[in-house]
Amino acid sequence: MPREHDPAFRVGIGYDSHPFSRGRPLILGGVRIPSEVGLQGHSDADAVCHALTDAILGAAGMGDIGEMFPDSDPANQNRDSIGMLEAAVRRISSSGYVVNQVDVTVVAEAPRIGSYREQMRSRLAAALGIDSASVSVKGKSNEGMGWIGRREGLACIAVATLKGNR
C-alpha cells in the first residue's frame, strides 16, 4: 500500500566543508570569529550558512546552493552567506513553506565555537524568520582524525524542518 505524503511537514539535510586559508576572515553562522585563518571559498565561505541553505532548499525539493548561487557567476564572489540563506528562505516561502526548526553541527578542532553560539543562533534565527529557541548550533571535534583533525579545515552538517503555510 502506498504511503501517504504529508506536504505540511518536510525535512532536509545539508553539508558543507571548506579548507582554511590565511588572509580571509572566519565567518560562521553570520558571526565573524577572531582567527588567524578563514575559510577558502568563492563567497564569504560561511559553511554554517551553506549547509543550512542546502538543508532548507532540499527539504522544499528546490535544489541546492550551487544551483541558486553558482560559483561561475562573478556576482557571487565574496557574497554574504547570510544574504544567500535569506534568499533561500524567500524562495521556499514562495512555494508555501516556512522554516520550523534547524540543527547545525560544526565539526572542527579549532576554533571552539561555544562562546559564539548565542550570537550565531540569534543571527541565523533572524535570517530564517524564526525564534532563536528553534535554532541549535553545536561544536564537535574530530578527535584529531583526518583533514579536520589536522586543522586543515572544517565541516558543517545541518538539518532543517519546514512546515507548509498554505
Query: Average pLDDT by consecutive 10-residue portion of the chain (166 residues)?
Result: 68 98 97 96 96 98 94 90 97 96 98 96 98 98 97 98 87
| SS3 call for 6 | coil
* Residues making up the chain, counted from first to last: 166
The residues with which 97 forms a beta bridge, in sequence order, are 164
pTM listed for this prediction? 0.94
- The predicted pLDDT at position 4 comes to 59
| DSSP designation for 133 | G
In the chain the domains, ranked by start, together with CATH numbers, are 9-164 (3.30.1330.50)
pLDDT value at residue 16: 98
> Phi and psi (nearest 5°) for 52?
-65, -40
How confident is the model at residue 8, as a pLDDT?
84
Check residue 2 and give its pLDDT.
59
Residue 134's pLDDT is 98
